[in-house]
Amino acid sequence: MKLFVKNIGTLAGLNPDGLLKRKGAEMSILLSISDAWLFATDGIITAYGSICGDNATAVSYEQQADTVVDAEGGTVLPSFCDSHTHIVFAGSREQEFVDKINGLSYAEIARKGGGILNSADRLHNLSEDELYEQSMHRVREIIKKGTGAVEIKSGYGLSTEDELKMLRVIRRIKETTPLKVMSTFLGAHAVARGYSQSDYVNLVINEMIPAVAAEGLADFIDVFCDEGFFTFEETSRILEAGARYGMRGKIHGEELAPSGGVEVALKHSALSVDHLESMTDEDIEMMRDTDTMPTALPGTSFFLNMPFAPGRKMISAGLPLAIASDYNPGSTPSGDMKFAISLACIKMRLQPEEAINAATINGAAAMGLSNSYGSLAPGMVANFFITQPIPSLAFIPYAYTTPIIRRVFLQGKEVE
């Protein structure tokens, strides 16, 4: 199928040089053209251009198209690439939200049966089909909000069978939606009831990882390396075990306290290290000239009323930065990447162009996908959305609750 999009006010997120990520000062560069058109063949971008001075080329491509879409002066951007979510979960946890308002700490909520263990209990009692149907409501939600590639983590199972159930649901989402989905095994999200810390780590290494690998259910492996969760040494053991089965590491780190999450991520060449609310200047220095993508989750800081990751410092130090939603039932019940971009600007002091790059090309890089997703160029997958006519790209984070997305295209086809 040949798709032609015409009357584009601004076509942004262009990547003619084939960059796989942007870092430091490069993050302020969001290449765009005005009065533009875009052409895709069988879900892959073939060409783009501007009618200014070269209308004949646009006319030629339009004549070849099977489908012609009028952007009506709207902006076209690459779909968001959300590299950190937990959208396969059972039920909601709004009572814990009320508990937080009433002053209870995370530890106090956990002692009441809340937190990750609460989600694990609910998930255990749900069938795989029920879990899939609940999760698909959230999948459809994030697609409408502009997300075209997403990483989904397990971690609310905390038993071999329930972790496998989550990962099978993630596989079904991969198979039944136009989203690009990457799956991550996060058995080391918390210690399950009835286990000592060391016994649970052994369960993850000796039983869960081989079972996940036997069914080919995970692209990555993740560990919550933080105060009160898993130590540097335990995290290293788990990442080493995952690597033996071809699962590259990702890390939850430096959320609650400086915890060695950055150091262990670099030791094991993790693809990303995520959260970073407690990141230190030493951590930033360690990350210079590495292939590990620092990933901030501003929605978590907003919802939990905690410090934001030092995004401005990271970029000023020459690092790349991705932002992701962390969509989950406890600390970030939102998958709205546009809002995450706004928070990155308002609370982390990113420029709009930096925040958009963090949510697109760098989000794709945090999933190892930026050779095909996260920017617009010939050869890239035709994942993009069309906005209402907007005065500038800065309007996207500025109008932080305005629903500006009018039409969504994944793999070159419109998603209704």
Taken in order of first residue, the domains within the chain and their CATH numbers are: 2-78+376-415 (2.30.40.10), 80-367 (3.20.20.140)
Model pLDDT for residues 309-351, shown as the tens digit of each residue: 999 999 999 999 999 999 999 999 999 999 999 999 999 999 9
124 is in an annotated binding site: no
Report the pLDDT averaged over residues 371-375.
98
268 is in an annotated binding site: no
Side-chain half-sphere exposure of 64, counting CA atoms within 13 A:
17
42 is in an annotated binding site: no
- Quick one: angle between helices 337-348 and 352-359, nearest 10? 140
pLDDT for the residue 53: 79
Model pLDDT for residues 249-291, shown as the tens digit of each residue: 999 999 999 999 999 999 999 999 999 999 999 999 999 999 9
* Distance (Å, whole) CA 367 – CA 54: 37
50 is in an annotated binding site: no
137 is in an annotated binding site: no
Model pLDDT for residues 64-95, shown as the tens digit of each residue: 999 999 999 999 999 999 999 999 999 999 99
392 is in an annotated binding site: no
Paired strand residues for 8: 36
pLDDT for the residue 127: 96
Q: Is residue 115 pLDDT above 90, yes or no?
A: no
* Distance (Å, whole) CA 176 – CA 359: 24
Report the pLDDT averaged over residues 236-241.
98
Q: Which residues contact 252 (CB under 8 A, 6 or more apart)?
A: 186, 189, 222, 223, 224, 225, 226, 229, 261, 274, 275
Cα–Cα separations (whole angstroms), residue 368 to 21, 271, 371: 10, 8, 8
Q: What are the two backbone dihedrals, phi and then psi, of residue 146, each rounded to the nearest 5 degrees?
A: 105, 0
pLDDT for the residue 117: 87
Residue linked to tokens 């590491």: 249
Report the pLDDT averaged over residues 137-159.
98
pLDDT for the residue 113: 76
93 is in an annotated binding site: yes
Model pLDDT for residues 7-39, shown as the tens digit of each residue: 999 999 999 999 999 999 999 999 999 999 999
* Distance (Å, whole) CA 413 – CA 190: 40
84 is in an annotated binding site: yes
State the pLDDT confidence band at 105, using cuts at 50, 70 and 90.
confident
Q: Is residue 104 pLDDT above 90, yes or no?
A: no
Q: How big is the chain, counted in residues?
A: 416
Is the distance from CB of 274 to CB of 297 less than 8 angstroms?
yes
372 is in an annotated binding site: no
Residue linked to tokens 């991969």: 174
Cα–Cα separations (whole angstroms), residue 28 to 20, 74, 321: 15, 22, 12
